[in-house]
Amino acid sequence: MHIPFLHNFNLEEYFRSNASDWGPRPVRVIWESSDYVTLLVRGPTSGKEFHVGRGDEIFYQVRGELNFHYVTAEGQRKLIQVKQGESFLLPAGMPHSPRRPNDSSWTFVVERRPRPDDEDYWIWFCERCNNKLYESSRRIGAAPSNQPNTIVRDAASALRADEKLRTCTRCGDVLALD
Ligand SMILES: [Zn+2]
């Protein structure tokens, strides 16, 4: 559902009335015809991929907890444990992997609308030593939609099919994918 301009609604009520038929996809686009793209994401989301976005992103944890993994410009991996009611601003270009432990975790996310030459990346790191294992990119050109993200799906399939791709060349750890 794309909500029109100037239509106020209650987020809590939106969750309550949509929770039972949320469907298999964790993301719903709330506002799209705008300078921004606004998403609601419901857990569980345990994908190991890190997204590298084109612009700053605002996160607001409406319900439950969010384990927000990210990698600094110096290549250091960090974790923010975001609690219900907390919000933060993520700078552009920082690899991040928001992980939600269960279906009680709801995040409100605001992103800059993509520009035609924007390119997004998804990176898989070794979960033990943070060595880069795999990278996939695409020119976005259009806002995220309610359709499945085929880049992440295809890359995850490739990783699942080939253990070599999932094996860290530095420490030998094999990435576990759901
Ligand atoms: Zn490793």
Q: What is the pLDDT of residues 124-175, one digit of tens each?
A: 999 999 999 999 877 665 555 555 677 888 888 999 999 999 999 999 999 9
Q: How many Å lie between the centroid of ligand 1 and the Cα of residue 74?
A: 17
Q: How many Å lie between the centroid of ligand 1 and the Cα of residue 148?
A: 29
Region of 151 please: left (phi>0), alpha (psi -120 to 50) or beta. alpha
Residue 106 confidence (pLDDT) above 60: yes
The fold of 11-166 is Jelly Rolls (2.60.120)
Residue 88 CA, chain-centre distance (Å), reads: 15
Q: How many Å lie between the centroid of ligand 1 and the Cα of residue 167?
A: 8
Q: How many Å lie between the centroid of ligand 1 and the Cα of residue 174?
A: 8
What is the average per-residue pLDDT within 104-128? 90
Structure tokens at 80: 């923010």
Residue 67 CA, chain-centre distance (Å), reads: 11
What residue segments make up the domains of the chain, in order of their start?
A: 11-166
Helix (H, G, I), strand (E, B) or coil at 89: strand
pTM: 0.90
The pLDDT mean for the chain works out to 89
Taking only the tens place, the pLDDT of each residue in 55-93 is 999 999 999 999 999 999 999 999 999 999 999 999 999
